[in-house]
Amino acid sequence: WILTLGPSLGIVRVPGIGLIYTELVTGVPSIFSHFVTNLPAFHQVLVFVCVKSVPVPFVPEDERYLIGRIGPREYRMYRCIVRYGYKDVQKDDENFENHLVMSIAKFIQMEAEEAASSGSYESSEGRMAVIHTEDTTGTGLVMRDSNNEASGTSLTRSSRSETLRSLQSIYEQESGSLSRRRRVRFEIAEEERIDPQVRDELADLLDAKEAGVTYIIGHSYVKARKNSNFLKTFAIDYAYSFLRKNCRGPAVALHIPHISLVEVGMIYYV
């Protein structure tokens, strides 16, 4: 149904990249429709991220990302499947956002090259491609280290508010791991011959990355129906609720930075 809403998806598109975590490898999760129903605004670039374990011991880091497109090119909606083997350790990937942007940029270039060779410029819905993250050739982007650059330049390029930037600086000072992360800035390579439509899509992707990345996950609450018996009510509303509150949350398991996290609550009555 979301593809029938037009390029704006029937909502206000705000600057930034929205990473929507879901367990679905196809389709749109229910938390997205629940979110836009209550708050009809979403990010300029949407990426549905699915973390999956595959039946192999290890997945090479260079072949971990599967990238696809959802809907036409104007929608700026993508799908990313992050694959792990059953012996892989899902540690905190400090460069996840950079790898994701480079992978999407490379997918855009690959899709444009295949469309030019076949003569059909329609995006193929449901097609997924393995993107090699270590090989940055063919992305049309140039990665520059912004740690040594003047802070005024980065603040001018960023469209984030002063309040958000101050909160992020305080959070990075309190969190040593975030302050040690490598900060990079992407630019479109001027010397490469890039199709105008591809260049526009890459520019939108980079503008969204500069505006900031937001992680959206679902937070489900299970409650017993009003007509449930005492045993069922106690098991769901008290026992299960106690276990859920004392278990590690998905945001911690996925190593999502708290400053960029948005949880969408949904109540299920059983």
pLDDT band at 49 (very low <50, low <70, confident <90, very high): very high
CA distances from 205 to 46, 70, 213, 226, 236 (A): 10, 15, 11, 47, 43
pLDDT band at 182 (very low <50, low <70, confident <90, very high): low
How far is C-alpha 47 from the chain's CA centre? 4
pLDDT for 157: 43
Question: What is the DSSP secondary-structure string of 179-199?
Answer: HTSPPEEEEE-SSS---HHHH
221-255 burial string, b = 16+ CB within 10 Å, else e? eeebeeebeeeeeeebeeeeeeeeeeeeeebeebe
Is residue 249 predicted with pLDDT exceeding 70?
yes
Q: Which two tokens stand for residue 103?
A: 């992978």
**Side chain identity at residue 167, one-letter code:** L
Q: Which two tokens stand for residue 245?
A: 């509150």
Backbone angles phi, psi at 35, to 5 degrees: -70, -50
Q: Mind listing the pLDDT tens digit for each residue in 16-32?
A: 999 999 888 888 888 88
From CA 79, how far away is CA 87, in angstroms rounded? 24
Q: Mind listing the pLDDT tens digit for each residue in 79-121?
A: 999 999 988 887 766 678 888 888 898 898 888 888 777 765 5
pTM (whole model) above 0.85: no
Residue with the bigger pLDDT between 160 and 195: it is: 195
- Cβ-proximal residues to 86 (8 Å cutoff; 6+ apart), any chain: 53, 54, 55, 56, 57
pLDDT band at 153 (very low <50, low <70, confident <90, very high): very low
pLDDT for 36: 79
Residue with the bigger pLDDT between 7 and 72: it is: 72
Mean pLDDT of 128-154: 59
